[in-house]
Amino acid sequence: MDSQRCRRVVLVSCPFQGHINPMLQLGTILSSKGFSITIVHTQLNSPKPSKHPEFDFQPIPEGLSKQEIACGNLVDIILALNERCRIPFQKRLIQMMLQQESHDEITCIIYDDLMYFSEEVANRLNIPSIVLRTSSVASLLSRLAILQLKDEGYIPFPDAMSQDQVPDFRTLRFKDLPICEFGTPKNFYQLLAHVCDIKTSSAVIWNTMDCLEESLLAEQQLKQFPIPIFTIGPMHKFAPACSSSLLKEDSSCIEWLDKQDPNSVLYISLGSMASTDEKELAEMAWGLANSKQPFLWVIRPGSTLGSEWIESLPEGFMETVRERGCIVKWAPQRDVLAHPSVGGFWTHCGWNSTLETISEGVPMICRPCFADQMVNARFVSHVWRIGLQLENQLERNEIERAVRRLMVDEEGEEMRKRAEDLKEKVEACFKKGGSSYNSLSKLVEFMSSQ
Ligand code: UDP
């Protein structure tokens, strides 16, 4: 590493909470290793520069209208981002290159795998690029499996096959495959092919750990053209102070948690995008109330269809649960999961939430909603066996049973023990000498030699 040169790295983030978090964590990690960081981001869901004075932020217009965003068709939104950001990104990079001093050259572009237009621009301008994968190796393999099954004519599959194992990926059933229901199949497969193919990029940074996915990584290396892969997860543990919430965190829930017994509270959050309808909300509410367990529930404004916030909670619910329940709009999730009172997490199994939960040794109730969440839920419940999955329509008796299985029964205690064991393995990965720690050192060397 040339200490005279300030190596600038341009990070291209994708405008969703579950993608902004790992990208800004990566920025924080690389900044601590001496790189100068520029974050290129869209105007949509712009991160807050004031929270990261160490970064240079460069917004680019993505040109999405309010209607396009409101339609909620994620596939079309991501395809549009890739179409519309390419030229503004290229212009911005050229501007930066014209202004750059010799000691501040852009040495590398790191982009979120959903923002694949970045690779094309980097290649055109002769700048090395690296892709950041913010979901699991299993989820990439499941995407490759979908593309193959489609070529072989297995997709779309009939309902009768939904419980069958996927031939090349037996951990998953057909119903666990992240086949998207948004938009047209043609657009979905187009997006999938782009995201799986890293084209001219020279390496992959993966927010995962060898102790979780080593054998899957070996399989991935066999299936795709092998290039260096740096598994440096869980990245939030390398950047504990990095905070990038788009919504305001309500820390009052920590005071509420302080008053609860150890391991007694069920934390519930379905992440930044998933939503429920009023009926599901009512079933969840009564299931929680009838379980008699204390709970901390994140209900995002607008996350119940047709409701601003919690006005569609069923009548009598608040009076029934009283102080046993705490409801917030957005929580400081990593602090919540690390709190000794939290004994379980009802999660949608987004990859960040899954990593954050595993890192704290908390067992889970999995209720995946879409995309890679189904794959993560399968691994949590059937491979690592640190959670149980709620599979059928949400129904209060089933919810009550699931909560008690996790929080009260012997079965939940065993899951908690396995979760604690896994937490120790994860700690060994990111502590000095561990696989993620070493991988990060190799990444820094690799980037310095670009
Ligand atoms: N999160 C948070 N507070 C909340 C709910 C979620 O800080 O009340 C964070 C969570 O810690 C995670 C991210 O939002 O880092 C959600 O990402 P994930 O991949 O789990 O799910 P997504 O939102 O992408 O579906």
Q: Look at ligand 1, atom 21, and give the residue with the nearest C-alpha.
A: 350
CB contact set of 126 (below 8 Å; sequence gap of 6+): none
Task: State the distance from the centre of ligand 1 to the C-alpha of 434, rounded, in angstroms.
Answer: 26
Ligand 1 interacting residues, C-beta cut-off 6 A:
16-18, 21, 245, 269, 271-273, 298, 330-331, 333-334, 350-353, 356
pLDDT of residue 444: 97
* Index of the ligand 1 atom closest to the CA of residue 347: 20
pLDDT of residue 4: 45
Task: State the distance from the centre of ligand 1 to the C-alpha of 130, rounded, in angstroms.
Answer: 24
Burial of residue 173 (CB within 10 Å: 0-12, 13-18, 19+) is middle
Question: Which of 295, 352, 357, when mutated, tests ligand 1's pocket best, judged by the most ligand atoms within 8 Å of its CB?
Answer: 352
pLDDT of residue 350: 98
Task: State the distance from the centre of ligand 1 to the C-alpha of 246, rounded, in angstroms.
Answer: 10
Question: 179-186 long-range contacts, Cβ below 8 Å, gap at least 24?
Answer: 179/146, 179/155, 180/74, 180/75, 180/370, 180/371, 181/370, 182/72, 182/73, 182/74, 182/75, 182/76, 183/73, 183/75, 183/76, 185/156
C-alpha span between 316 and 256 (Å, rounded)? 22
User: Domains of the chain (ranges plus CATH)?
Assistant: 8-244+431-448 (3.40.50.2000), 252-427 (3.40.50.2000)
pLDDT of residue 17: 97
Q: Look at ligand 1, atom 5, and give the residue with the nearest C-alpha.
A: 271
pLDDT of residue 2: 46
CB contact set of 22 (below 8 Å; sequence gap of 6+): 132, 134, 207, 235, 236, 352
Task: State the distance from the centre of ligand 1 to the C-alpha of 324, rounded, in angstroms.
Answer: 24
Task: State the distance from the centre of ligand 1 to the C-alpha of 16, rounded, in angstroms.
Answer: 10
Task: State the distance from the centre of ligand 1 to the C-alpha of 106, rounded, in angstroms.
Answer: 31
pLDDT of residue 429: 98
For Cα atoms 74, 80, 83, give the angle at the middle one, nearest 5 degrees. 145
Task: State the distance from the centre of ligand 1 to the C-alpha of 149, rounded, in angstroms.
Answer: 31
Q: Look at ligand 1, atom 11, and give the residue with the nearest C-alpha.
A: 333
Task: State the distance from the centre of ligand 1 to the C-alpha of 112, rounded, in angstroms.
Answer: 17
* Index of the ligand 1 atom closest to the CA of residue 356: 11
pLDDT of residue 109: 98
Contact yes or no for 40/89 (Cβ under 8 A): yes
C-alpha span between 406 and 385 (Å, rounded)? 12
* Index of the ligand 1 atom closest to the CA of residue 21: 15
Task: State the distance from the centre of ligand 1 to the C-alpha of 333, rounded, in angstroms.
Answer: 7
C-alpha span between 207 and 439 (Å, rounded)? 11
CB contact set of 144 (below 8 Å; sequence gap of 6+): 196, 223, 224
Question: Which of 16, 17, 298, when mutated, tests ligand 1's pocket best, judged by the most ligand atoms within 8 Å of its CB?
Answer: 17
Question: Which of 16, 114, 236, 272, when mutated, tests ligand 1's pocket best, judged by the most ligand atoms within 8 Å of its CB?
Answer: 272
Per-residue pLDDT of the chain (450 residues; tens, 9 = 90+): 444 456 899 999 999 999 999 999 999 999 999 999 999 999 999 999 999 999 999 999 998 988 888 888 999 999 999 999 999 999 999 999 999 887 789 999 999 999 999 999 999 999 999 999 999 999 999 999 999 999 999 998 999 999 999 998 999 999 999 998 788 999 999 999 999 999 999 999 999 999 999 999 999 998 888 899 999 999 999 999 999 999 999 999 999 999 999 999 999 999 999 999 999 999 999 999 999 999 999 999 999 988 899 999 999 999 999 999 999 999 999 999 999 999 999 999 999 999 999 999 999 999 999 999 999 999 999 999 999 999 999 999 999 999 999 999 999 999 999 999 999 999 999 999 999 999 999 999 999 988
* Index of the ligand 1 atom closest to the CA of residue 300: 8
pLDDT of residue 5: 53
Task: State the distance from the centre of ligand 1 to the C-alpha of 103, rounded, in angstroms.
Answer: 37
Task: State the distance from the centre of ligand 1 to the C-alpha of 99, rounded, in angstroms.
Answer: 37
* Index of the ligand 1 atom closest to the CA of residue 329: 8
Identity of the amino acid at 415: M
